[in-house]
Amino acid sequence: MTELAAELVRLKVDIILAPNSGIARAAKKATSTIPIVMANGGDPFVDGLVASLARPGGNVTGLTNLSSELAGKRLELLKEILPRLDRVAVLRSGLESTQSAQLKEIQAAASSFQVHLQILEVRVADDFERAFEAAIKAHAGALTVVSGSSGLLLRNRKEIVELAVKHRLPTIYPQIAYMNAGGLMSYAANEVDMYRRAATYVDKILKGRKPADLPVEQPIKFELIINLQAAKAINLTIPPNVLARADKVIK
- What is the pLDDT, as a whole number, of residue 97? 62
Q: Calculate the CA dihedral of residues 175, 187, 134, 105 and round it to 10 degrees.
A: 110
Q: What top-level class would CATH report for the domain 2-64+191-220?
A: alpha beta
- What is the pLDDT, as a whole number, of residue 38? 96
Cβ contacts of 121-127, under 8 Å, gap ≥ 24: 121/92, 121/93, 121/94, 122/91, 122/92, 122/93, 122/94, 122/152, 122/153, 123/93, 123/94, 123/95, 123/152, 124/152, 125/152, 125/155, 125/156, 125/159
* Interatomic CA distance for residues 33 and 139, integer angstroms: 51
- What is the pLDDT, as a whole number, of residue 33? 97
- What is the pLDDT, as a whole number, of residue 52? 95
CATH no., domain 67-188+223-250 = 3.40.50.2300
Q: How many CB atoms lie within 10 A of CB 182?
A: 17
In the chain, where the domains are located: 2-64+191-220, 67-188+223-250
- What is the pLDDT, as a whole number, of residue 186? 97
Tens of pLDDT, residue by residue over 59-102, are 999 999 877 789 999 999 999 999 999 999 999 988 766 677 78
* Interatomic CA distance for residues 87 and 113, integer angstroms: 10
Same fold across 2-64+191-220 and 67-188+223-250: yes
- What is the pLDDT, as a whole number, of residue 43? 84
Instruction: Give the pLDDT means over successive 10-residue stretches in the chain (251 positions).
Output: 95 95 92 96 87 96 87 95 97 77 91 96 94 97 86 92 97 95 96 95 98 95 96 97 96 93
- What is the pLDDT, as a whole number, of residue 68? 79
* Interatomic CA distance for residues 84 and 79, integer angstroms: 7
User: Are 178 and 186 a contacting pair, CB within 8 Å?
Assistant: yes
Report H helices in 61-190.
67-81, 100-112, 127-137, 152-155, 157-166, 176-180
